[in-house]
Amino acid sequence: MKSVTHSSKKSERDFVEIAWGAEYTERMTQSITWLQDEIADRMLQKLDIVKLDVKAVLLIPEFPGKYFSLLKKRFPGARVDGLYGEDISGISSMRVKLFQLWQHLFKGAHRSPFKDYLQTGKLAIPDNSVDLIFCDLLLQDLTDPPHFLQECWRVLKEGGLLTFSYLGPDTGKELRALEVGPLKLKNLVSPWDMHDMGDALLGERFSDPVMDMEYLHLDYESDDLLLADAHALKLIQAKPSQALEKGYLPQKLTLEVVYGHAWAIGKHLAKAQDNVAYVDINQIGRKTRSDSA
């Protein structure tokens, strides 16, 4: 069992949770599905106060977790589509394939591997086609988050919502505090704090961005489990080949989890330049004599 100390910047209070039991222990060595599931649950709780008529949802990335049933319960009748990663293996891979087959047979959902976006820079989704984009723990791994936001803006319908979470710059700070040793550390590809993301959302024409952040403190009973998670979270290049000196590693990892959502409103307006928004001439209505008669 892993203990998670949760510290919220918003609420200014600390408490301890016991979460992610034995059923997740085997999966932690392969992927971060265990963490995606937990954060997805928290994202859905934050959506409870949002009023949104959802007919089509896009999941980025999609993963075979328990969150899916909660999402369907939150938005009954909505079509759920997804871009999924292909870096999982074993039983998780089988769950993904079964999940995709179920989507094909019963929901008719369009499937596109997430690697296509990484290669082409384009989401394989038509313009103005989804009401909600649900993006769980992705942005920290993208080399160009503003471009990703542009693509989200493109595929969202007028009045659609982008909701997301990602790991902020304080993630894994205990490892960075270590003296130089056998660990080959990695930095997050995009170590943005919530202020960086809020500015980027406004720069890409999203409206009314709401940002929030919390710390999760993961306590470990073994070095092997900590190293497995650090590798899955891309905080180290690989597990060290030699045994580490006892007491070298910290007994906990800090995760800075940033949450946010923003609206796609005013899609008929051209992108603002010099703080001025330009209206497409085709969007300007003209009165005719018959209209005024």
**For residue 244, is pLDDT > 50?**
yes
pLDDT, greater one: 83 or 216: 216
Please tell me the distance from the alpha carbon of residue 49 to that of residue 170, in angstroms, as a whole number: 28
Q: How far is CA 151 from CA 23, 127, 146, 255, 258, in A?
A: 36, 9, 9, 27, 20
Q: Is the pLDDT score of 293 beyond 50? A: no
Residue 120 confidence (pLDDT): 85
Q: In which band, very low, low, confident or very high, does the pLDDT at 67 lie, cut at 50, 70 and 90?
A: confident
Q: What is the pLDDT of residue 18?
A: 27
Per the CB < 8 A criterion, the answer to whether 63 and 88 are in contact is: yes
Which tokens belong to 196?
């960086």
Query: For residue 123, what pLDDT band results from cuts at 50, 70 and 90?
Result: confident
The CATH number of whichever domain residue 16 belongs to comes to: 3.40.50.150
Mean pLDDT, rounded, of the chain? 76
Q: Which pLDDT score is estimated for 264?
A: 96
What confidence tens digit (pLDDT) does each residue in 186-227 have?
Answer: 889 999 999 999 999 999 999 999 999 999 999 999 898 899
In sequence order, what are the residues at sequence separation of 6 or more whose Cβ sits closer than 8 angstroms to the Cβ of residue 71? 40, 44, 57, 59, 80, 134
**Per-residue pLDDT at 271:** 60
pLDDT tier at 59 (50, 70, 90 boundaries)?
confident
Q: What is the 3-state secondary structure (H, E, C) of the chain?
A: CEEEEEEECCCCEEEEEEECCHHHHHHHCCCCHHHHHHHHHHHHHHHHHCCCCCCEEEEEEECCCCHHHHHHHHCCCCEEEEEECCCCCHHHHHHHHHHHHHHHHHHCCCEEEHHHHHHHCCCCCCCCCEEEEEEECCHHHCCCHHHHHHHHHHHEEEEEEEEEEEECCCCCHHHHCCCCCCCCECCCCCCCCHHHHHHHHHHCCCEEEEEEEEEEEEECCCHHHHHHHHHHCCCECCCCCCCCCCCCCCCEEEEEEEEEEEEECCCCECCCECCECCECHHHCCCCCHHHHC
Neighbours of 53 (CB within 10 A): 9
Helices 33-46 and 67-74 meet at what angle, rounded to 10? 20
In this prediction, residues 62-74 reach a mean pLDDT of 78
∠132-135-137 over CA atoms, to 5°?
165
% the chain with pLDDT above 70 = 69
Q: Which sign, positive or negative, has the C-alpha torsion 20, 44, 155, 169? A: negative
Residue 6: predicted pLDDT: 43
Please give the residue that has the higher pLDDT: either 246 or 200.
200
Residue 61 or residue 58, greater confidence = 58
Task: Give this prediction's pTM.
Answer: 0.75
Number of domains in the chain: 1
For the ranges 27-36, 93-102, 208-217, the one whose mean pLDDT is highest: 208-217
- Residue 255: is its pLDDT beyond 90? yes
One-letter identity of residue 100: Q
Give me the pLDDT at residue 83, please: 63
pLDDT value, residue 31: 65
Say if residue 89's pLDDT is above 90. no
Report whether the peptide linkage leading into residue 146 is cis, meaning its omega lies within 30 degrees of zero.
Answer: no
Note down the domain range covering 272: 2-292
Q: Is the pLDDT at 98 greater than 80, yes or no?
A: no
